[in-house]
Amino acid sequence: MPDQSVVLFYSHNYALWAGDALKAEGVGYKITPVPRQLSSECGYCLRIHCDDAGRVETILKTKNIEYDRIAAAP
């Protein structure tokens, strides 16, 4: 899906906290399993619209929520 990005986290707790932070800021997201192309580890990521990536990065940094990276969704 070319119009989507995924936010990858170090643990599922960070993904859940990030979901709460994005919801509070009115940013749309969906919690999904991490695509195997991006990580072989079991876990969750947030799927967001690619246009929201900069805003999401700012929110996560402001809230001190650690994340690995934001990548294009496969």
**Predicted confidence (pLDDT) per residue in 16-60, tens digit:** 999 999 999 999 999 999 988 887 565 899 999 999 999 999 999
Is the predicted pLDDT of residue 73 greater than 60, yes or no? Answer: yes
C-alpha neighbours within 13 Å on the C-beta side of residue 33? 6
Six-digit token string for 74 = 């496969």
Please check the confidence at residue 61 and state whether its pLDDT lies above 70.
yes
pLDDT at position 42, please?
59
CA-based nearest residue to 18, from 66, 69, 71 = 66
* CA 23, 26, 67, 1 torsion-angle sign: positive
pLDDT at residue 6 greater than cutoff 60:
yes
Question: What residues does each domain of the chain span?
Answer: 4-72
6-20 average pLDDT score = 94
- For 4-72, CATH gives 3.30.70
Check residue 37 and give its pLDDT. Answer: 82
